[in-house]
Amino acid sequence: MSRTAHPRRMATRRSPRLAARLVLGLGLLGGLALCGPAQAGKKPFSYFVTGDASAAVQTLAPATPSLVLMGGGPDVDEAFRWMVTRAGIRPGTGGRFVVIRATGTEAYDPYIFYSDANNSTTGPAIDGWVGGAALGVSSVETLVVPSIDAANDPGVTEVLAKANAVFIAGGDQSDYIKFWKGTALDRTLQQLMARNVPVGGTSAGLAVLGQFDFAALKGSVTSDQTLSNPYNRYVTLDPNPLALTGGFIAPPALAGTITDSHLDTRDRMGRLVGFMSRLVQASSSNGGNFGCAGGVLPATQVRGIGIGVETAVLVEGRGNAAPYSYTARRVTNVSTTTESAAYFLRTLQAPTVCASGQPLTVLSVEVRKLADDTVFNLSDWTGLPAYHVDAISGALTSNPY
């Protein structure tokens, strides 16, 4: 989905002065010009900036990886502040926060950069604003990258390669798979992650952060559709065909994991269970056939993370060198009106019925719910109580252990 917020905050994030600020993009970054509607045809992408993208940046390289997994709906202000801090940005250091998207506008730029609707760059931010400038951010830049040509354009690489933090906006994740995967943009993201630059995403941006992704290449799909036929034509996964390599972003912290957003408001627990089941490799045991055709992982290695609206999960790498261990904690807005929960799922056994055109049966999918300040261990999957859900002939039921 596009940059969203509840009406009170959304109203404050669009300013008549935005158009004037956009001209700051001209001449910055080695002559890279802003490509907007007035210059259509000159560049295959659009570039916007709030702040000073030519300012010197003197941050320390992050020591460990950082990911933000955001569930869509109103953006979580604290998650962006955490990304800034994890990037090594401090008052006086400068730092470039880059938003990438395939459609939409520069609406994130002022929201992240300023502390309030008066364009304040000092003092703590009020609810609904990040206050990046006060934290040391020197520029917030948006790249709208709507094609393969745009994703391979040297101008996009030039902007993205200098990012100290990267956020993937909502929209349509099929655009990200079709336009960005395997391009210079993809390679640049991999290079940034190798340097532990914080990366985050919301909604469609979250969908492409797992090792495996729901690609939505033929549109969205409901829980009922997925459970009644896990090979429904709308259940398009990436990589396709499924493989242990070849995914789009696939950060190490989310190995074996597929994600989903809007889990609560759009009743997506069932489809996440269906997506996870598709990852389980087929096998025969004791005269029975288990797993799913095309699956690539043993059942005990398949994980899913579902995140509700106005919820962010902050994933932090720990250790002195790769491979890191990872923890996760939840943040939301002070003004949230939802439960703002995240769910961590794990299959404990292979599906017993998983075939094209047939309702799914998979038992004892473990679920751990995070709706407070508990720190969850992503590496050994501990720190929260568990319950389980069963899908029996396409119907999902929940039972406590």
pLDDT tens readout for residues 165-208? 999 999 999 999 999 999 999 999 999 999 999 999 999 999 99
pLDDT at site 286: 66
Residue 233: CB atoms within 10 Å: 12
Q: Which of 209, 244, 268 is the last residue of a domain?
A: 209
Residue owning tokens 């495996």: 212
- Which band of pLDDT confidence, cut at 50, 70 and 90, is reported for residue 287? low
In a shared domain, residues 157 and 246: no
pLDDT at site 38: 31
| Res 103 pLDDT > 90 | yes
215: which residues sit within 8 A by CB, 6+ positions away?
173, 174, 177, 236, 237, 238, 240
In a shared domain, residues 190 and 329: no
65 in any annotated domain: no
Task: Take residue 65 and report the two structure tokens written for it.
Answer: 């990886």
In a shared domain, residues 256 and 151: no
Render pLDDT for 320-372 as a digit per residue (tens, 0 to 9). Answer: 898 999 999 999 999 999 999 999 999 999 999 999 999 999 999 999 999 99
Residue owning tokens 């590496």: 379
pLDDT at site 195: 96
- Structural domain count of the chain: 2
Domain hosting 34: range is 1-58+77-209
Q: Which of 209, 240, 264 is the last residue of a domain?
A: 209
In a shared domain, residues 202 and 259: no
Q: Which of 209, 233, 260 is the last residue of a domain?
A: 209
277 in any annotated domain: yes
Percentage of residues in the chain with pLDDT exceeding 70? 89
Please report which helix (H) or strand (E) contains residue 214, including its range: strand 213-214
What's the start-to-end Cα distance of the chain, in Å? 36
Q: Which of 44, 190, 167 is nearest to 106 (CA)?
A: 167
Average per-residue pLDDT for the chain: 90
